[in-house]
Amino acid sequence: MSVKLSPTEIYSRWEKELEVIKDLPYAPADTYRNLIVMLQTCEVQLSEINVKKRDIYNQMLAISRFLMAHVFQLGNGAYQLAKTGFGNPGLIICRSILESLTELSYLWLVKKINPELGDVERDAWVEYINMNRSSVLSHWEQFKQHKENKGETVEKILEDPVIEQVREKAAQYIEDYPHSKNGRNWAKITPLVKRARAVDDTGWLKRGIPEKGINGFDNFSLEEEYITIYKHTSEYAHGESGSIQSLYETQGNRGTIIIGASDSNVITTLGLATNYLLVFLYVFAILNRLDLRAILNELERQGFIAPK
């Protein structure tokens, strides 16, 4: 059961974290503070949206609010890992935040990117759960067949009526969304890196809102982040050999594997999580018609230092 907090309670809770970071050995307090202020602001915005009644509500708003709740939890996870000296797994969480940021940005701008499809890709994103369930079922049936070929028995994971329903919904998805390449992806543009490029090419993240005196992110590119961060942190996510260097240190002629907490990648995790959440909050505020200027002023009041 979730606990709903008022903005005052949210500020009070994060204020306690500002005291905690003064004595942490893994990174300067200011780097922790930036992420704390960002998480606090995201939580306040979500809290206020939950209690407001809006005349305008559509699927894109629902998607943005789900993804904001999702990245807020991920951001909290990155903070907790960085606070306890586990920056390497924190990078994996930052990778997930970047992926959600890319998808939200693409869905936000999809009518400009693929105008001929209208809202279709947004519908396909929501309903892609049907293809995910079908994929699980397909892999289970292959596993079941393999075991039976060896003379072993495997219990059902779903009852027959549910299995049939999963198949029917998957077939319907493929029929409804021919752009999905037989249900392999909800988006017309694949893979993720090409969606990142498509968003960059619109120029909207760099544009800002000039009429309100709000700058965009001149030096930020989703495709660049994909290449330099998403691909690199894949090594950590999958335990590939490239991640060994972050868990290995040399002392004289001896090498040591780092076990437990250290300062390895803590500052990087804090910086990435903060920056990605900032861009996410920017898109989220535009979609939900929030007062972006007031949000930026509040960040500044709380001592947030914007990346350059």
Give Cβ neighbours of residue 11 (< 8 Å, ≥ 6 apart).
40, 44
Residues 38, 89 contacting (CB under 8 angstroms): no
By CB atoms closer than 10 A (0-12, 13-18, 19+), residue 43 is buried
The pLDDT of residue 56 is: 61
- Mean pLDDT in each 10-residue stretch from start to end of the chain (308 residues)? 79 92 93 96 91 72 96 98 96 98 98 95 97 96 95 90 96 96 94 98 93 90 97 90 77 78 94 97 94 92 81
Phi-psi category of 208—alpha, beta or left, where left has phi over 0 and alpha has psi -120 to 50? left
- DSSP 8-class letter at 74: H
Host H or E run for residue 197? helix 192-202
Distance, CA of 86 to CA of 44 (rounded, Å):
27
Backbone angles phi, psi at 182, to 5 degrees: 65, 35
Residue 209 bridge partners (DSSP):
214
Name the phi and psi angles at 153, rounded to 5. Answer: -110, 150
Across the chain, the runs of DSSP E, i.e. the strands, are: 248-251, 254-257
Ordered by start, the domain boundaries in the chain are 7-128+186-247+258-301, 129-185
pTM, two decimals, is 0.93
DSSP-assigned letter for residue 254: E
The backbone torsions φ and ψ at residue 154, rounded to the nearest 5 degrees and listed phi first, read -130, 130
State residue 54's pLDDT score: 63
